Amino acid sequence: MKHTISLSVCLAILSLPVQAADLYRWVDSRGVVHYSDMPSPEAEKIDSRKFSDQVAPGEELPYGTRIAKQNFPVTLYTGNGCGDACDRARSTLTKRGIPYAEKMLRTKDEIDAFKQLTGSEIVPTLAVGTTVLKGFQSEQWHGELDIAGYPKTATYRQRIAPPPPAPSTPPAPQSPTADGQATPAEPAAP
């Protein structure tokens, strides 16, 4: 008997979000405003509002993460040939549930701008706000992300819906060397 009641209560609770689709507002004869999921029979003018069950972009993130993202945006700089270090960097950010932008350095202009910004050719490089961390060093990255206010682990919602994979990258442009051999124009991996 106890299990049947528990099951009935659980089913009723699970069906609540499905039922709450329309909201009606009306004012009675005394001037009192009422809100209900059913219109009043004596209502003269009925306002019906339908609410969407979709989450606005960015609202799926916890409040603390949204604030950290606003104050300290995270950018991961990667390059061709980065390999395992870049994979570990992406995995670290994903496990913590940190929203980040990944910048793949492909062209010579992108690499030159990266060198000017960071003073280095090492990838992966992480920018947390204005702080630049060169090379993948787990403790250093975690410490900086903690200071910025990012969560230590991803929320359940973030774990079940991982970010979309990075787009496939075309081969890096080749630049000739002094002896005429072509070498890829990319930053060095650590």
Q: What is the pLDDT of residues 166-179, one digit of tens each?
A: 554 445 444 444 45
Tell me how far apart the alpha carbons of residues 147 and 158 are, in angstroms, rounded to a whole number: 21
Would you say 27 and 33 are in contact if contact means Cβ atoms under 8 Å apart? yes
> What is the per-residue pLDDT for 124?
93
> What is the per-residue pLDDT for 89?
93
> What is the per-residue pLDDT for 44?
60
Tokens of 95: 């496990």
Would you say 97 and 155 are in contact if contact means Cβ atoms under 8 Å apart? yes
Mean pLDDT of the chain: 75
Would you say 144 and 73 are in contact if contact means Cβ atoms under 8 Å apart? no
> What is the per-residue pLDDT for 15?
56
Highest mean pLDDT among 7-21, 93-107, 148-162: 93-107
**Does position 55 have pLDDT exceeding 70, yes or no?**
no
Could you report the per-residue pLDDT of 127-148, keeping only the tens digit for each? 999 999 999 999 999 999 999 9
Tell me how far apart the alpha carbons of residues 72 and 124 are, in angstroms, rounded to a whole number: 18
Tell me how far apart the alpha carbons of residues 131 and 128 are, in angstroms, rounded to a whole number: 5
Residues 42, 46, 47, CA angle at the centre, nearest 5°?
155
**Does position 64 have pLDDT exceeding 70, yes or no?**
yes
- Can the peptide bond before residue 124 be classed as cis, meaning omega within 30 degrees of 0? yes
* Predicted confidence band of residue 19 (pLDDT cuts 50, 70, 90): very low
Would you say 105 and 78 are in contact if contact means Cβ atoms under 8 Å apart? yes
Tell me how far apart the alpha carbons of residues 26 and 90 are, in angstroms, rounded to a whole number: 52
Tokens of 17: 């979000």
Could you report the per-residue pLDDT of 72-117, keeping only the tens digit for each? 999 999 988 888 999 999 999 988 888 999 999 989 899 899 999 8
> What is the per-residue pLDDT for 145?
93
> What is the per-residue pLDDT for 147?
93
The larger pLDDT score, comparing residue 47 to residue 90, is at 90
Residue 149's contacts (CB-CB under 8 Å, 6 or more residues apart) are 64, 67, 68, 71, 72
Handedness of CA 78, 169, 158, 68 (dihedral sign): positive
